[in-house]
Amino acid sequence: MTTGMLASVTTCAEAMIALEGGADIIDLKNPALGALGALDDITIRTSVAAVAGRVPVSATVGDLVEMEAGQISRAVGHMAENGVDYVKVGFFPGPTSAACLNALSAHAGRGIRLVAVLFGDLGYESFHVPDFAAAGFAGIMLDTAIKGGGSIRSRIADSRLAEFVAEAQGSGLLAGLAGSLAITDIAPLIALRPDYLGFRGALCAGGIRTGGLDAAAFARVRSAIRDSGHQRSAASRPTWAATALASPSKL
């Protein structure tokens, strides 16, 4: 199995750096607005057009921490209209999260590929991973909400991360890991065989996630993934990426 590289970008120009640098998924978000800050429609549509289907594109709907079902449902529907392949939705612990999951199942039924983002520093254990598969989600990832406090591996043991990946994949979900990942985290996490690893800060000059994407930093991360022994072949894209490009969302 090949572990892919998700690169979070903030502009169309950054999307092109990521594409040329070998990203497997280009993820559109605004880190200045939080862990899952949303970008404006024009930037998203322009980036989707520029990528032109060469790799899947995902986008976040924002840090909607109040978990109001109607608001999240509207945000997902609106984001899907921008033409992205995956829509990422943060799930925060609380009494309304089940209602949100139920509301989003209708979007999944329409063919919108949803990826749930759980936060390792915000009670992710309160969620039952198979519930997302039952609701029709395409994937699930574990991230960190509070940046600057170390990577996901400093907050959750590798053994528990391995359990998360296995549970997600066993439920038929794509499994992603992210959260202030550094070069030194790549080999240990790829050994857990997630479907993809997500990066932002490590791709920016000085490791500052709100700064601009840096081609040299990007190349170092891409090289570290390659050197892990899981380099994707020139003739083969990861299964999850090939599926996304072959079967566009029904909007």
Question: DSSP assignment, residue 56?
Answer: -
Q: Is residue 241 part of a domain?
A: no
Look at residue 119 in the predicted model and tell me its pLDDT: 95
147 a catalytic residue: no
User: What's the CA gap between 137 and 130, in Å, rounded?
Assistant: 10
Active site residue 88: yes
Nearest alpha-carbon partner for 244 in 37, 4, 39, 1: 4
Query: What is the pLDDT at residue 168?
Result: 98
H helices present in the chain, as ranges? 12-21, 41-51, 69-80, 97-109, 129-134, 158-170, 183-190, 215-225, 239-246
Q: Quick one: pLDDT at residue 123?
A: 85
Catalytic entry in 29, 107, 222, 237: 29
Among candidate residues 6, 88, 155, 204, the one labeled active-site is 88
pLDDT at position 244, please? 60
- Low-confidence stretches of the chain (pLDDT < 70) are 1, 229-251
Tell whether 207 is covered by a domain.
yes
Q: Is 244 a domain residue?
A: no
Range of the domain at 71: 4-232
Count Cβ neighbours within 10 Å for each residue of 140-152 and write b for 16 or more, e otherwise. bbbbbbebeeebb
What are φ and ψ of residue 101, in 5° steps?
-60, -40
**How far, in Å, CA of 46 to CA of 141, rounded?**
26
Structural domains in the chain (count):
1
Domain of 71: which CATH number? 3.20.20.70
Query: Is residue 242 a part of any domain in this protein?
Result: no
